[in-house]
Structure 1
């Protein structure tokens, strides 16, 4: 477990040297990243997908609540964790300092939205982000792409 934290820290440092928006956040059981997407005018299992990433495990929410309030996570296979473990490297530090919790108008035009939640030492922050990049700050674009990429990989 210590080895994974060290590896994540090293990767974070390497990425932060190349881009000031990338971070050095360590995730663990108390520090975690929840990410997902939601589509209101949609039918089927893929309309709401939410995952929780720690430094050793990936979980999937089995409730699929559009509001993101009611979540119940189950552990996924290790290979799915391996596919997503680098997502934290793309989390923009700037987001942690924003007063806004909604960017754009998520799912207003039936284009869907992203749900992001970050917990640091029990301090939980959540955001809803419009999928239309024209409606959100540019510093979120790379992270949005990675979140969507990871969700697509997990649903294959």
Structure 2
């Protein structure tokens, strides 16, 4: 088990591998993106002791898992696989430390590695203006699975935003593995949610795979019709999605701490303006390009 203090590990002008070498000009080679999987740990485990200060934890074995977490029955609405194959993956946890209220987050956004080290980029979020918060202490955390590595891990805090868009297509009568397709677009990557259950769209309960990609969130946000932007935290349904086995389109916008949700009938209905129909087609095309 390796514990690293987040505040002490930052990107510096030379690689950490050169610290053990008299020559500070060691060439570590190019940075390569590392694919990782989001792990909804709290569905099946509780943290034995949250640290009060920022900290990271790398778990390499089931024993270390048992030392740091207590396993319990699944508490998420859908089944979540609690097992980790430690011959292939390590569990990486990051903790922001104690915060005075809700509304704080910490999130791993991307990972790269070179021949010397693994670099983990993360960001933190604070409560935003107008956001509803609880006046109780919280302990923000994030948990992912990364391929087994023996390289030093360096943490680099970035200034990325937590705003994001989730798009998806669904059909309750469809029984194939490809019926439920849901993706999150944010400032820095695209997340593909795995095994999304019909009608259960609380996405923190799902594993996801992350692909580095910039620009998609901003581009799609520009095409969101004003009537959806004006909902500002409300939920709206256009038509009767999935009422006749025709399926539907899901859109979720999280912006400035407020979450807006929209369900759109795949069939064109009278309550869908031309702008909504054009936007629906843009979402359908985006999902097709991502799957």
Shared fold per TM-score greater than 0.5: yes
Q: CA deviation at 1:119?
A: 0.6
Q: CA deviation at 1:83?
A: 9.1
* Richer in strand (by share): 2
Task: Indicate the residue corresponding to 2:261 in structure 1.
Answer: 126
Corresponding position: 1:58 with 2:190: yes
Task: Indicate the residue corresponding to 2:171 in structure 1.
Answer: 39
* Richer in helix (by share): 1
Q: Is the 8 A contact 1:52 1:73 kept in 2?
A: no
- Larger RCO: 1 or 2 (CA < 8 Å, sep 6+): 1
Greater C-alpha Rg: 2
Quote the Cα distance in structure 2 between the aligned partners of 1:91 and 1:116. 10
Quote the Cα distance in structure 1 between the aligned partners of 2:237 and 2:198. 15
Quote the Cα distance in structure 2 between the aligned partners of 1:30 and 1:68. 22
Q: Cα RMSD over matched residues?
A: 2.1
Corresponding position: 1:76 with 2:203: no
Q: Which consecutive aligned stretches of 4+ in structure 1 deviate over 3 angstroms post-superposition?
A: 81-85
| 1:126–1:100 CA distance, 2 compared to 1 (3 A) | closer
Instruction: After TM superposition, list the pairs within 5 Å mapping 1:131-142 onto structure 2.
Output: 131-135=266-270, 136-142=272-278
Q: CA deviation at 1:127?
A: 1.1
Q: Is the 8 A contact 2:186 2:216 kept in 1?
A: no
Instruction: Choose which of 89, 111, 131 in structure 1 pairs with 2:222.
Output: 89
Instruction: Choose which of 116, 120, 125 in structure 1 pairs with 2:251.
Output: 116
Corresponding position: 1:147 with 2:283: yes
Q: CA deviation at 1:74?
A: 2.1
| 1:73–1:55 CA distance, 2 compared to 1 (3 A) | farther
TM-score by structure 1 length?
A: 0.71
Where does the alignment leave 5 or more consecutive residues of structure 1 unmatched?
1-27
Q: Is the 8 A contact 2:188 2:215 kept in 1?
A: no
Q: CA deviation at 1:82?
A: 6.2
Instruction: After TM superposition, list the pairs within 5 Å mapping 1:12-51 onto structure 2.
Output: 29-51=161-183
Where does the alignment leave 5 or more consecutive residues of structure 2 unmatched?
1-159
Quote the Cα distance in structure 2 between the aligned partners of 1:89 and 1:73. 28
Q: CA deviation at 1:89?
A: 2.4
